[in-house]
Amino acid sequence: MGDTTEKFTTIFLADRSKPACFYLLKRSARKKFAPNLFTGFGGKVEEGETPTQGAYRELAEETGLTHIKLKEFGRLIINQKKILYQFSGLYIGEPLVCNEGRVETVPISQLPFLPLIPTAKIFLEAWEQRNWRIKEHFTLLIERENLEDIYSPILSIEALPGLIGK
C-alpha cells in the first residue's frame, strides 16, 4: 500500500474486556456517508498524526471522552486502498452523547440484527470468532467490487494474523 492509502480509525467501546455490550454510534440520517447505520466511533486520520493519535482525537471530538485507554487490535484493509485501524476501549459511565448521531448500548447478542456498516459487520463477526480477544491481533483484507459503494458486493475476505499495513 502506497502513500495514496486513505486511513481511518474505528473505536469500539465495550463494557468489559469480554464484552456483554458495545456502545455503538447510529449515524445521523443527515450524514452523507452511511446514514442511519451503526458503527464504532472514529474517522479519518489527519495528515501528520498517527492512527492512535487520530483515534484519541476522534473519540474526544465525537464523545468528549479523553480518559479512555485505547488499544489497537485489528485492521481492515479494503481493496488495498483504505485501511481502518480498529481500536477497543472500556467504558462504564453516564450515557454517551455523540455529535455524529445517537449512541446506543447494544448487547452483543443483538449485533447480527443491527443495520451495521457492511465492513463493520464483517469485522465484528471476525472479532467474535476470536472470542472478542484483543491480544491476538488480526487483519482482514477485503476486496469489494466498488471501493466507494459500501453496499458493493464483496469479492473476497482474507484473515491474516497480526497487524498488516502501515
Tens of pLDDT along 114-147? 999 999 999 999 999 999 999 999 999 999 999 9
What is the per-residue pLDDT for 4?
81
Residue 44: DSSP 8-state: B
Distance between CA atoms of residues 74 and 10, nearest Å: 10
Q: What is the pTM of this model?
A: 0.95
What the chain holds in terms of domains, given with CATH numbers, is 6-161 (3.90.79.10)
Gap between the Cα atoms of 144 and 92, Å rounded: 36
Asked whether residue 1 carries a pLDDT value surpassing 60, the answer given is no
Model confidence over 13-49: pLDDT tens digits?
Answer: 999 999 999 999 999 999 989 999 999 999 999 999 9
